[in-house]
Structure 1
């Protein structure tokens, strides 16, 4: 059975309530156009560099405005709503970068906390230390829905192929990568990484992204994308603000791709040997 998926691109600001209003408008538009699975980007609730300001607006998952709005819309519209992620106050006082998946009855199916923290030093002095604010997740997750089996990841997770391989081996036919990629890394790596994850796992990839210049002055790459299991780009957005992209998803295409190239089944365990060559300077090593 095929289904219509939508990836919502946003340019979230610092106010979760305003972002919730924008998210609702876009989800309603996607549902009106026939989408039964709708994904929003990483940090849908707020893009906020100032950690103190971010903490000031944090809620737990039961009262967070993004999560509660998504649950309400899923029930009202009768669709699956996947909040790519939003910042959530944990019971232990730490912050989670947490995604949510809601069913058409409004019930929460599952959550996923981003595992890999974006701690990097890029060119031109651009540095990020996500681990200074967020507690990393520890569990990969696959959710089997009537539509298909979905595997979860968030943004920087895309650079860790073993996460996606684990989910694909567990049956995921659709791999999800909501993101807020920087412009610098997005221009270099965004599409090639996502197409690689699709190809090597024989799975669809759906990646809703943040796009444009945000209130906190950071810039994200956008170009939300949907890729099929053969690596073909089915839909892609631009790089400057809100947009919705759509694609028809046929889960049987994942089985077909894996049948042609059964690398998930052909993978073998192996041992690693390291060899140190003798120095070539001045003859044999003493």
Structure 2
């Protein structure tokens, strides 16, 4: 997530002006906690904790859920934001020309997957679990969540450039994690990202997350994996980055984006990787972020 340092993002920036809110983030980094437990750990009242939690929730740093308890209901707090990059210098006007595309998880154009694997819509599993043939089922376009142990999935990004326009940068935001049988939060996976068959770099996902219910994951989904991590992949004139951290020297010129040709985006988990831990992808109505694959092309 990129955050511009300006007055529009004050709610987010103000969250770090409080020692108490920083301590809450540290506590929630270890495990989800309810308001009472946070208050006891911090040595302050539940009312004060609640006010701090509201600010953190408004900034989308944490999420809360109300669950039954022995005395009515309790609010459980979860740390959902993994990282954020502060952008101090505003982009030049020339970089403001861009278009955005939202690509549903199920609208892939090519795949090669091996079990464990499967896909589902927001209401049901599509086909049979662990049978790669169902990735060709016509209903795959309705998928909001998919997973596989090794292989790749590829999407086509429309290219709307005309005349002498050229790509300045491509940013892709998506929620993803590893894929372990059932789930395993300590299950690293080396995920390789490609545009037009050019490797942007590799990122190692730490695990397959299922200990806590995804904020938007349907109630009926009880198959282990619940949510992923929101990552932003960017390639520009200087190199390729994930959440602002450089992963390679590949630049946007290396991608050879041509007029009239789609931009192909692929995520690969080769069996030969040091950590071949699979891939899980989440779209709208699944995971912790109610979004599909968001693409921004600046020109």
After TM superposition, the score normalised by the length of structure 1 is 0.29
User: When you count strand as a share of all residues, which structure comes out higher?
Assistant: 2
Q: What TM-score, normalized by structure 2, do the two folds share? A: 0.28
If each structure's helix is expressed as a fraction of its own residues, which one has the higher value? 1
